[in-house]
Amino acid sequence: MASGCLRRRSAAIAIAVASAIGSSYPADADPLRLRVDVLGETQGTPAPAGLVVLQGQDALRPWVDAEALVWAGARGAGPTATGDVLALTLHLREPHGYAEARAGRFLLATGAVRPVQLDGAYLTARAPWGSKVEAFGGLPVVPRFGARSYDWLVGGRVAQSIANVATLGASYVQRREDGEISSEEVGLDVASAPARWLDLAAFGAYDVLNPGLAEARASAAVRSSDWRFELFASQLSPGRLLPATSLFSVLGDLPSQTIGATVRWRAAPRLELLGSGAAQDVAAGLGGNGWLRATLKLDDRGAGSLGLEIRRMDVPCAEWTGVRVIGALPLGNGFRYSSEIELVVPDNPDGRGVAWPWGLSALSWRSRSGWEVAGAVEASSTPLRRYETDALVRLSYALASPPTTAPGQRPGFR
Amino acid sequence: MKIRPAWAIVLSVALAACASVLGLRPEPPSHPFEHRAHVLKGINCVECHADVANAGETGPLHLPSEAVCRHCHENPHDNRPCMNCHGEPYVRQAAELARAQLRVEHPRHMGAVHGDCVRCHSEVTEVHPQTVLPKMATCFGCHEHREQWALRDCAGCHVDLSEEGSPPDDHLVHDGDFVREHGVRAASARDLCASCHTERQCASCHGEGTVPALPWKLALGDVSLSGLHRAGFLARHPEEARGDPGLCTTCHTESSCIDCHTRENVAGGSTRSPHPPGWANGEHGVQARIDPTSCAGCHGGGGEQLCVGCHSVGGPGGNPHGPGFSSRKDEHHDLPCRLCHGVGP
């Protein structure tokens, strides 16, 4: 039965690949990229099994550009067709930057407003002395063309740049679900770079419906060419992140706090060390987490690399240790081999397996003419399945504008 | 202490290998163009790059022709064109990219620096330059661009930043644990981020139900240690969620969990329920207060009736409100109060 399922899936995949390749030779070459992913799993129902993604961006005039990413796929033994629009945006801009308008499907995230994908409009007006006014409104996106129930969102933000070293902003957002007010927040945000080596940023969102701090984050970083040190802190109130129309918003408010630091050190021209540690006060008790990463470039350009990460999470109800290794090696003629292995050991397996290994091995090829082909095998043992092996093939063609740099390589100017 | 010669050799080889691997001894470029040698000989740049004096914003690269080289190098060691070997492909590739993506009029700049090209192109004096292009900080040394910065008007110099794809190296550096940090950095400067990053880049992680389309979810040829959902995230996602209550909700909505749990048959009522045995007896109340967003992930919307069945007023589940709970809502008319308190007169 499993082989029959795979055969049917293979047929669907072959059709998807053939149709994608066939449609990838237009007469006029716009900067569009067509990508085909083919996923075959040995167990379970993949999501989806075959996938065609079309993305593109073009500036019709200096003051107008459009961007889109749509995908369609098939999954299951049927197979069942599915798809969605990830982005479909028209962007108008006054040539000198005094005003901007964005309309269509886009991601809204500004000031203390948490990211939300929106079908709507977003207007920005700026002044040369650093003042900015933003206004937005629209309908929160429902996945897979789902039905709406009178949900909408409106808000705005005003900001002022101070002496070109700091920006101070204030935001407001209101969201309705089924016509009822589900979220109303005011927020403050500040960012400053008083020196080339110092970056400061913070924001806080205050819940107006159920008065209290919903979310606050702050970060301060200093850096030199070889070092970077960052202090960060956050407070998150899960009950206030939910819509006020949700039954789960009435359980009370138990915020969690985190304070920590991250250090980056370029120990040698090709060796970078990155470490982070944080203390956490969650409702279940005190805890912490930390990790250390080491990345070694195999050449001066960084086309090949090796990496090691060790991680420990020690928060009540979430205690585990993990180690991860990556490797990428350019093989010449556009070929590249990469591999990633992870092992996670939970402190309390509770019948979910004493360790959860995961590994991926991939071979990719990129041509100067715009073709990209990659194939990978993924194997894992998870609490869900004792053993699982998946295969994935990715085929991509840029209808114009072939990649200017090889994977892992940096463009030569900054 | 006397070190034996064999050990000294082994130690030397090991040190040399380490120096090479760690990049302490830079690998020599295969065929670098000897800019430094020309500079040290006092040869003016325009003697070779003559076209640069008349080059506009667009047009071909102003590389010297074969005849220009042979004007001085009268007896070359080889009959092949000089530029076939002298000059790294990636340096030329970067120069081509810059020519296509940057609006620079060399004649105007040359007048301002009195023909001293090295003031901007300082890398040509290095022994093994990775690039011969100026850093952006060099531009800002003369051009303040305060107003353009305030208006996010990068088009004066950059043709298309998203197409250009240059990671900032001397300003706005995406450094450290940037995946965690980017949210707080972007809060005050979302439009600055948008000058390089496209909508689909943001939406591919933050978008609703877009997982299948994530261009970076399975970046097969470009493995990385950074990224929130890399490697075996699927196996450890409950631990990650419990480790930072509410964090998932800052990007995902309630439907994100139920979509996948239903598909994988890991939902209430199935034999593969994610809850441990005895969950309904008391533990669920504690966990629900710690992170109600996790509950809402699967039991939100219509699933709330499962809670109402026990916790409605007078029900066996008792009062679910936390200590000190108060609300300005009308318990008989507003959602979600009316689910348990009933519709009033």
- Given an 8 Å threshold on Cβ–Cβ distance, is A344 in contact with B223? no
DSSP string, A293-344: EEEEESSTT-SSEEEEEEEEEEETTEEEEEEEEEEEEEEETTEEEEEEEEEE
Compare CB distances from B189 to A129, A167, A245 and report the shortest one's residue.
A167
Rounded to an integer, what is the distance from CA B229 to the centroid of its chain?
Answer: 14
Contacts of the segment A146-152: beta carbons below 8 A, 24+ positions apart:
A149/A177, A149/A178, A150/A176, A150/A177, A150/A178, A150/A179, A151/A175, A151/A176, A151/A177, A151/A178, A152/A176
Residues 234-293 (A) with a CB less than 8 A from some CB of B = 236-239, 241-242, 244-254, 256, 258, 262-264, 267-271, 274, 276, 280, 282-284, 287, 289, 293
Average pLDDT over residues B246-260: 75
Residue A211 sits at the vertex; the CA angle it makes with A205 and A216, to the nearest 5 degrees, is 25
ipTM, interface predicted TM-score of the complex: 0.81
Angle between helices B292-299 and B283-290 (to 10 degrees): 110
Q: Residue B67, Cβ neighbours under 10 Å: how many? A: 7
Query: Could you report the per-residue pLDDT of B105-131, keeping only the tens digit for each?
Result: 888 888 888 888 888 888 888 777 777
- The amino acid at residue B57 is E
Instruction: Round to whole Å and give the CA distance between A300 and B10.
Output: 25
Residue A309 at interface with chain B, using a CB cutoff of 8 Å: yes
Q: How close is the nearest chain A Cα to the Cα of B334, in Å?
A: 8
Q: Is A59 inside any structural domain? A: yes
pLDDT of residue A242: 86
Among A18-22, A122-126, B142-146, B157-161, top mean pLDDT goes to: A122-126
Q: Is A251 inside any structural domain? A: no
Question: Which of B48-57, B167-176, B283-292 has the lowest average pLDDT?
Answer: B167-176
pTM of the model: 0.82
Instruction: Round to whole Å and give the CA distance between A116 and B251.
Output: 8
Q: How close is the nearest chain B Cα to the Cα of A316, in Å?
A: 8
pLDDT of residue A185: 96
Instruction: Round to whole Å and give the CA distance between B226 and A171.
Output: 30
Residue A136 at interface with chain B, using a CB cutoff of 8 Å: no
Q: Which stretch of DSSP H or E encloses residue A58?
A: strand A50-61
Cβ(A240)–Cβ(B245) under 8 Å?
no
Which residue in chain B is spatially nearest to A256 when comparing CA positions?
A: B245
- The amino acid at residue B208 is E
Instruction: Round to whole Å and give the CA distance between A370 and B216.
Output: 18
Q: Can you give the residue range of the structural domain that contains A281?
A: 273-409
- Given an 8 Å threshold on Cβ–Cβ distance, is B245 in contact with A236? yes
Q: How many domains does chain A contain in total?
A: 2
Phi, psi of A398 (to 5 degrees): -90, 120
Average pLDDT over residues B174-192: 88
Residue with tokens 């004649």: B107
Contacts of A392 in chain B (CB under 8 A): 218, 220
pLDDT of residue A16: 39
Handedness of CA A87, A90, A95, A98 (dihedral sign): negative
- Given an 8 Å threshold on Cβ–Cβ distance, is B202 in contact with A215? no
- The amino acid at residue B172 is L
Joined together, the tokens standing for residue B262 give: 């239903």
| Residue pLDDT tens, chain A, 414 long | 334 444 444 444 343 333 333 333 332 334 556 666 666 555 554 555 566 777 776 666 778 888 888 877 776 656 677 778 888 899 998 988 899 999 999 999 999 999 998 999 999 999 988 899 999 999 998 877 777 677 899 999 999 999 878 999 999 999 998 888 889 999 999 999 888 889 999 999 999 988 889 999 999 999 888 899 999 999 999 888 888 888 888 887 788 999 999 999 999 988 999 999 999 998 878 999 999 999 999 887 788 999 999 999 999 888 999 999 999 999 988 899 999 999 999 998 888 889 999 999 999 998 877 788 888 888 999 887 888 888 877 777 766 554 444 333 333 332
Q: Is A44 inside any structural domain? A: no
Joined together, the tokens standing for residue A373 give: 């082909």
pLDDT of residue A303: 84
Nearest CA to A405 among B90, B224, B130? B90
Indicate which of A91, A107, A230 best probes the interface with B, i.e. most B CBs within 10 Å of its own CB: A107
pLDDT of residue A265: 95
Q: How close is the nearest chain A Cα to the Cα of B31, in Å?
A: 15
Compare CB distances from B151 to A97, A189, A253 and report the shortest one's residue.
A97
Residue with tokens 């585990």: A320
Q: Is A99 inside any structural domain? A: no
pLDDT of residue A407: 35
Answer with the residue of higher pLDDT: B67 or A155: A155
Q: How close is the nearest chain A Cα to the Cα of B117, in Å?
A: 17
Average pLDDT over residues B65-71: 86
Q: How close is the nearest chain A Cα to the Cα of B307, in Å?
A: 9
Query: Could you report the per-residue pLDDT of B221-241, keeping only the tens digit for each?
Result: 678 888 777 888 888 888 888
pLDDT of residue A322: 95
Instruction: Round to whole Å and give the CA distance between A404 and B1.
Output: 56
Joined together, the tokens standing for residue B54 give: 């008349």
| Terminal alpha carbon distance of chain A | 55
Residues 27-86 (B) with a CB less than 8 A from some CB of A = 27
**A151-160 CB burial, b ≥16 within 10 A, e <16:** bbbebbbebe
Say whether B41 sits in a helix, a strand or coil.
coil
Residue A390 at interface with chain B, using a CB cutoff of 8 Å: no
Compare CB distances from A342 to B232, B276, B334 and report the shortest one's residue.
B232
Phi, psi of A57 (to 5 degrees): -150, 140
Query: Could you report the per-residue pLDDT of B33-46, keeping only the tens digit for each?
Result: 888 888 888 888 88
Q: Is A69 inside any structural domain? A: yes
Start-end of H helices in A179-315: 238-241
Contacts of A196 in chain B (CB under 8 A): 137, 170-171
Q: Is A318 inside any structural domain? A: yes
Contacts of A178 in chain B (CB under 8 A): 335
Q: Is A29 inside any structural domain? A: yes
Compare CB distances from B162 to A57, A264, A317 and report the shortest one's residue.
A57
Which residue in chain B is spatially nearest to A355 when comparing CA positions?
A: B235
- Given an 8 Å threshold on Cβ–Cβ distance, is A217 in contact with B183? yes
pLDDT of residue A345: 95
Instruction: Round to whole Å and give the CA distance between B200 and A340.
Output: 26
Average pLDDT over residues B8-20: 83
Output the domain CATH number for residue A400. 2.40.160
Phi, psi of A58 (to 5 degrees): -150, 140
User: Strand A50-61 vs strand A318-332: parallel, antiparallel, or unpaired?
Assistant: unpaired
Residue B198 has pLDDT above 90, yes or no: no
Residue B222 at interface with chain A, using a CB cutoff of 8 Å: yes
Residue B213 has pLDDT above 80, yes or no: no
Q: Is A234 inside any structural domain? A: no
pLDDT of residue B212: 54
Q: How close is the nearest chain A Cα to the Cα of B1, in Å?
A: 31
- Given an 8 Å threshold on Cβ–Cβ distance, is B213 in contact with A69? yes
Residue A376 at interface with chain B, using a CB cutoff of 8 Å: yes
